[in-house]
Structure 1
Amino acid sequence: MGILKLFGGDRLSAAEDAQRDAADHRFFEDHGGATSEIDVHVSVSRARKVPVVRNCLSLLAGSVAGLENGVFRRVGEDRVERRVDHPVAKLLRNPNPRQTGFDFIYQMVDDLCAEGDFYAEKVFEGGEVVALWRMEPHRVVVEELADLRERRYRFRDRWGRERILLADEVWHIALPPLMDDLKGTSPILVDGREAVAVAIALQRYANTLFKNDATPAYAFSMEGHFADAESKENWTRSMLRRLTGRRRHQPMALEYGMKPHRLGLTAEEAQFLETRKELWLDLARLWRVPPHKVGILDRATFSNIEHQSLEFVTDTLRPILELIERSVGKFLLDLPDEYFEFNVESLLRGDIKARYEAYSIARQWGWMSVNDVLRMEHRNGIGPAGDRYMEPLNMVPVGAGAEERKPEQREAIDKSIAFLRGSVGGKKGKPRLELVKNAA
């Protein structure tokens, strides 16, 4: 039940009004969401207060937002050029006066992974989109026009003003599978509602337990019995004063041969270690996040963490990246030979030794140049000389013989001899020059 019903935003029926209970915590829950089978209200804002949920959402959003991206155009069959000055590339780098490109994409992924939908209003100028403004998903109602098979969006802003936007005025990305072919599926409110509800219930129970100092209850045994019920009641009240509140750690004297017996949870049980761990795994599975990313390192080793990091890119991030890339291509780009792409190479890079070994192999086999390597390391090139590609001497194109290679080899040797003649002089330089001639 939403708090807005108190102010007439969504009026209660007469039956609901008669049955409502102001002492029920659900009466004051956040607007929206749904109630689970264990009678816990689940909303996106409440789910964010569960640490592992917040960790998964921030991990996914930050990982995608930090990736380099751009608009590319296919030039021929085997060549691609980056369009740095493309209007869409500029738009995603600076979507609106308030947000940077990082902020905008971070919020986009967060909305997709939490709400299941991302909405942005397009601002046009001269027929081109010049700005994108995010629309809060829970404030948007998607409607389908039956006659035209088109969508429209009813948006109520935080000041209560309602506007209706057509499909061309809104950039909408929906997380599959779609509900009624209109909206995406929220991992929190739909697929993971019960798991999130258990996490909320466990968190609430733990808070109540530790609010009372997590002190287990006690039972007292005695050989005799109290004289009457009033004496028993007085003794019980006295024990409650000593066992609760600020006096609960003070010493006490027991009479009548009483012996205390401690009941309840041990320190380990009070922390719900095993329950929390299994619950964290279930929540991480909602977004296919590897366990070590949410702090579960019980079975983690160096080798399997490296493998899981690769799986995080290919199995977890790649579907989200593909979803955004295809949406940009369909709704923002015009030409069929243009496309938008994220660069995930920074997430797949190994340690410095592995990278340099890979560069060495690529350089020796002739499919990367020095400038290509430096570009991969985000360093400046060394000029035109760095664009040359090497070819192994023991590898030649099919059908080419040694005679076809001699002119190029002779030209290179002649240039070396000419260089030595111009730079080496005197008697001391002659043996070195003769050595080069003999080698030629």
Structure 2
Amino acid sequence: MNLWQRTKMAWKVIRNKATQVDENFSKWFRGGRSIFLSGNNSKLASNETIFAAVSRLSNSMATLPLKFFKEFSPVYTELSDLISNSPNNNMTSFDFIRILETHRNVHGNGYALKMYGRHYSVTSLVILDPTCVEPVVEQETGELWYEINGEKGRYYVHNLDMIHIKHIHTTQNGYKGISPIDVLRNTIDFDREVREFSLSQMEGGIHASFILKYAAHIGKEKKAEILENFKSFYKDNGGVLIQESGVEIDPITRNFIDTKVFEVEKITRTRVATVFNMPVSMLGETDGASYSSMEQMSLEFVTYTLLPIVRQYEQEFNRKLLTPQERQRGLYFKFNLSALLRGDTSTRGEFYFKMVRSGVFKPNEIRAWEELPPEVGGEKLYISGDLYPIDTPPSERKGVKASEQEVLGI
């Protein structure tokens, strides 16, 4: 569907709805308002575990290099510069991806509206408040639209004009992603209540520090006098007490923080990591971690956490920022996940060594990854001298000795 067709459809939707002011959109659209949008920001700001998970995911996505390719070779156009450097007048590419990913992990959905210039070219991508956008489906055509509640009215945008990054969704809630924070609502509430209870216990434990025991029964006035003398003596003598005859002073030993609080924190970290589909070690939990190297931990994070997210971004950009003709010409956007899988110096060096000897990588490609300038001759593929194609005649193998040639009948 091109721009003119989408414009006609939008006018049709608006015209049909203009004659039915008193009705809702149920006749024209399927789906209703989500109830999972309130209170998410406050929960994100008050729970450090969820904040850490969202920060880890959003920063990881924002730091991945994003380039525009044509058949494995980077190309540079106005569109590639828009995505890689400045999606709009107020943001860098880092900020754009990080905010979009934060919205996805907080509200379940992240939206960016395409803005057009001359000749139907995309000039910018503007991030929208996800609480003001609702995916709806037009009944007659089955086309997906986005209902935007702005300050000056209600607008409708076709799905090809909106970048939509989301969490999983079901047929019941249409095309709207489920908020992970709403899934964690019970975990957040339980964690908060345990913390508040522990703080109240700790405050009570601070005020009650000693038990005074007397051999005889004394009246209220005498108790008050003894207690005041006890407090004054303790204050004036730097915490030193003198135990008199007939009086016993027992200090109250308390664990100000119950060990079960730490168990609750472990449970919270595990549940948050499970919902956000990331290794619990990424949230500071080391118990049970069995990684032999940082490379293995990064591999799990990339494979099971980032790869599905990256694929969603790539398909959204390729489908909605490129025309079918451009895709047929071999143009596509791609994130570089290799930056997170480079390993340590020893592992990386051995990998490069094998790839160069096998004729897979060019030396200058490796130098570029290591941020070194290219060298003359490094633009060629090389192969080890002791490796030959299996059909190479023995006489052409430089490593075959004269005695071996006689045996082979050469």
Q: TM-score, normalised by structure 1?
A: 0.68
Q: What do the CA deviations read for 1:389-423 (whole angstroms, capped 9, x no partner)? A: 333344333433245679xxxxxxxxxxxxxxxxx
Within the candidate set 339, 344, 361, 1:346 is matched to: 339
Q: Is it true that 1:283 corresponds to 2:310 in the alignment? A: no
Q: Is it true that 1:311 corresponds to 2:300 in the alignment? A: yes
Superposed counterparts of 1:174-323, under 5 Å? 174-178=166-170, 180-190=173-183, 192-209=184-201, 214-215=206-207, 231=220, 266-269=255-258, 272-299=261-288, 303-323=292-312
Q: Distance in 2 between matches of 1:215 and 1:142?
A: 56
Q: Is it true that 1:129 corresponds to 2:122 in the alignment? A: yes
Q: Is it true that 1:56 corresponds to 2:47 in the alignment? A: no
Q: Is the 8 A contact 2:202 2:257 kept in 1?
A: no
Cα 1:276/1:386, change in 2 over 3 Å? same
Q: Is it true that 1:395 corresponds to 2:392 in the alignment? A: no
Q: Is the 8 A contact 1:88 1:333 kept in 2?
A: no
- SS of the residue aligned with 1:48? helix
Q: Distance in 1 between matches of 2:311 and 2:137?
A: 26
Match of 1:414 in 2: none
Q: Distance in 2 between matches of 1:380 and 1:267?
A: 58
Q: Is the 8 A contact 1:214 1:270 kept in 2?
A: no
Match of 1:380 in 2: 373
Cα 1:209/1:338, change in 2 over 3 Å? farther
Q: Is the 8 A contact 1:44 1:189 kept in 2?
A: no
Question: How far does residue 57 in structure 1 lie from its aligned partner after superposition?
Answer: 1.0
Q: Distance in 2 between matches of 1:235 and 1:142?
A: 70
Question: How far does residue 109 in structure 1 lie from its aligned partner after superposition?
Answer: 1.3
Q: Distance in 2 between matches of 1:285 and 1:214?
A: 37
Q: Distance in 2 between matches of 1:202 and 1:299?
A: 24
Q: Distance in 2 between matches of 1:325 and 1:214?
A: 56
Q: Distance in 2 between matches of 1:219 and 1:286?
A: 48
Match of 2:18 in 1: none
Question: How far does residue 138 in structure 1 lie from its aligned partner after superposition?
Answer: 2.2
Superposed counterparts of 1:70-85, under 5 Å? 70-74=67-71, 80-85=72-77
Larger Rg: 1
Q: Distance in 2 between matches of 1:155 and 1:209?
A: 48
Q: List alignment gaps of at least 5 residues for structure 2.
A: 1-34, 399-410
Q: Is the 8 A contact 1:88 1:332 kept in 2?
A: no
Q: Distance in 2 between matches of 1:175 and 1:319?
A: 10
Question: How far does residue 208 in structure 1 lie from its aligned partner after superposition?
Answer: 4.6
Q: Is it true that 1:96 corresponds to 2:91 in the alignment? A: no
Q: Distance in 1 between matches of 2:125 and 2:338?
A: 28
Q: What do the CA deviations read for 1:2-32 (whole angstroms, capped 9, x no partner)? A: xxxxxxxxxxxxxxxxxxxxxxxxxxxxx97
Query: C-alpha root-mean-square deviation of aligned residues, in Å?
Result: 3.8
Q: Is the 8 A contact 1:223 1:256 kept in 2?
A: no
Cα 1:43/1:369, change in 2 over 3 Å? closer
Match of 2:16 in 1: none
Q: Percent identity?
A: 23
Q: Which amino acid aligns with 1:195?
A: T
Q: Is the 8 A contact 1:121 1:135 kept in 2?
A: yes
Cα 1:282/1:257, change in 2 over 3 Å? farther
Cα 1:324/1:259, change in 2 over 3 Å? farther
Cα 1:303/1:405, change in 2 over 3 Å? closer
> Which of structure 1's runs of 4+ aligned residues deviate more than 6 A?
217-227, 249-264
Cα 1:193/1:226, change in 2 over 3 Å? same
Q: Is the 8 A contact 2:36 2:179 kept in 1?
A: no
Within the candidate set 60, 65, 68, 2:62 is matched to: 65
- SS of the residue aligned with 1:303? coil
Q: List alignment gaps of at least 5 residues for structure 1.
A: 1-30, 35-41, 75-79, 407-440
Q: Is the 8 A contact 1:216 1:264 kept in 2?
A: no
Q: Is the 8 A contact 2:210 2:251 kept in 1?
A: yes
Residue correspondences, number: 352
Question: How far does residue 264 in structure 1 lie from its aligned partner after superposition?
Answer: 9.2
Question: How far does residue 130 in structure 1 lie from its aligned partner after superposition?
Answer: 0.9
Q: Is the 8 A contact 1:222 1:258 kept in 2?
A: yes
Q: Is it true that 1:144 corresponds to 2:114 in the alignment? A: no
Q: TM-score, normalised by structure 2?
A: 0.72
Q: What do the CA deviations read for 1:56-102 (whole angstroms, capped 9, x no partner)? A: 1111111111111112223xxxxx22222251552342111111000
Q: Which amino acid aligns with 1:135?
A: L
Question: How far does residue 210 in structure 1 lie from its aligned partner after superposition?
Answer: 5.3
